[in-house]
Amino acid sequence: MQVYLDNNASTKPLDEVVEAMIPFLDSEYANPSSVHRFGQRVRHRVECARQQVARLINAEPREIVFTSGGTESVNLAIRGALAVEPKRRHVITSAVEHNAVHRLATQLAGEGYRVDRIGVDHQGRLDYDQLADRVSQDTTLISIMHANNETGVLFDVGRICEIAARHDVRVHVDAVQSVGKLPVDVKELPVHLLSMSAHKMHGPKGVGALFARRRTRLAPGTFGGRQERDLRPGTENVPGIIGFGVAAQEAAKFLQSGMEPIRRLRDDFERRVCKAVSIAKVIGAETERLDGTSNISFKQMQADAMLILLSERGVQASAGAACSSGAVEPSRVLAAMGVDPHVARGAVRFSLSRFTTASDIDRAVKVIGEVVERLSVLMLRC
């Protein structure tokens, strides 16, 4: 029995998604920019997908720019927003961003931008006072994530926008982990730019979108054809876009029925793991989190050893920790939260989806108990 608990890394494409994509990998191969009938048929389907994605976040279709995924959306948003305001050279982000934003921010600092990374508390909550303190007339952009990919902890995007508005600063939100998993409505949240990725919501890999609110000025990062309103030139990834559209439509339906079942499974999972394993501790448990994310630390354990043993027994999960030159470095997200390195090194991320079942949870709890016991015996021997 295989139990897939790595849905924050990637999700299973829905059958409807795969079926919808197939004709565009086969007979519907025309270029959507071609004026002939075949091309226009494909164009029509690309524009339907744009509507489906727009509807998921209550945007206008023309506010959706298709990209190759979350990373490209983030880069287009940040670079594009900075390029149109060359006089302001201050960027604000958080200390717990995904590498897409984190490493771009480091690059920008190297290019002479002043970069502030706002801290978080021990639960992963953003320091909104520090954010308010750092925003100034010189700030070009605030780029902050909605849901953390490692802990699932949610930031209050409305509050971030309020702070930004006081200084007329634009806001980009990395919503790669939240769109499709919780309601996101850009008519309610006055963000200027918002990044999404299809493969986190049961769509295909290698396709995403940037929401760019009307009249938000943005410069392209690449040059070529006139596709995607000149912002993202190049022939579109048509099968990917079609699959993304269907995934967005299905996510909207799924959100109407609510996340309650996933939350119940996740809470049950955490309760049972903590009961069975005394060294287990849930990270970020006291604050608002994504319903399907559970980051559990097993004190004194090495997350990479746990992941291997879990995987051998059919439970697939992930860790934020990176292994470099043989030593496991604790995740920088957990370090920013002030988590003790001995605790952080043993942190494993389990992420559920709408396909996770109660028997998956039963199996995972049992296997986690066995793996911790096995590793404890091995550690005693060393």
Contact 171, 193 (CB under 8 A): yes
Given the structure tokens 């490692």, which residue do they identify?
150
**x/- binding map, residues 336-355, to ligand PLP, per CB under 6 A?**
--------------------
Judged by CB under 6 A, the residue of 177, 237, 302, 353 near ligand PLP is: 177
Structure tokens at 266: 């996740």
> Does 197 contact ligand PLP by CB under 6 A?
yes
Tell me the backbone φ, ψ of residue 179, rounded to 5 degrees. -65, 130
Judged by CB under 6 A, the residue of 7, 11, 52, 71 near ligand PLP is: 71
Q: Between residues 80 and 208, which has the closer beta carbon with respect to ligand PLP?
A: 208
Q: Between residues 49 and 273, which has the closer beta carbon with respect to ligand PLP?
A: 49
Q: Between residues 100 and 131, which has the closer beta carbon with respect to ligand PLP?
A: 100
E runs forming strands in the chain? 3-4, 64-67, 90-94, 114-118, 139-145, 170-174, 193-197, 208-212, 280-283, 293-298, 315-316, 322-324, 327-329, 347-351
Tell me the backbone φ, ψ of residue 190, rounded to 5 degrees. -80, 45
> Does 149 contact ligand PLP by CB under 6 A?
yes
Q: Could you tell me the smallest distance in angstroms from the CB atom of residue 189 to ligand PLP? A: 17
Q: Could you tell me the smallest distance in angstroms from the CB atom of residue 293 to ligand PLP? A: 11
**Candidates 66-74, 103-111, 220-228, 229-237; binding stretch for ligand PLP (CB under 6 A):** 66-74
> Does 6 contact ligand PLP by CB under 6 A?
no
Q: Between residues 98 and 354, which has the closer beta carbon with respect to ligand PLP?
A: 98
Number of residues that bind ligand PLP (CB under 6 A): 13
Q: In what order do the strands lie in the sheet with 64-67?
A: 64-67, 208-212, 193-197, 170-174, 139-145, 90-94, 114-118
323 labelled catalytic: yes
Q: Could you tell me the smallest distance in angstroms from the CB atom of residue 194 to ligand PLP? A: 11
- Cα separation, 248 vs 245, in Å, equals 5
Pick the catalytic residue: 48, 161, 323, 382?
323
- Of 155, 160, 245, 260, the C-alpha closest to 209 is 245
Q: Which residues, 89 to 148, sit near ligand PLP by CB under 6 A?
A: 98, 100, 145
- Cα separation, 139 vs 137, in Å, equals 6
Q: Between residues 7 and 139, which has the closer beta carbon with respect to ligand PLP?
A: 7
Q: Could you tell me the smallest distance in angstroms from the CB atom of residue 197 to ligand PLP? A: 3
Which residue, judged by CB position, is nearest to ligand PLP in the bound state? 70
Structure tokens at 45: 């389907």
- Cα separation, 264 vs 239, in Å, equals 35
Residue 336, sorted as left (phi over 0), alpha (psi -120 to 50) or beta, turns out to be: alpha
- Of 201, 362, 210, 211, the C-alpha closest to 292 is 201
Q: Which residues are catalytic?
A: 323
Residues making contact with ligand PLP (CB under 6 A): 69-71, 74, 98, 100, 145, 149, 174, 176-177, 197, 208
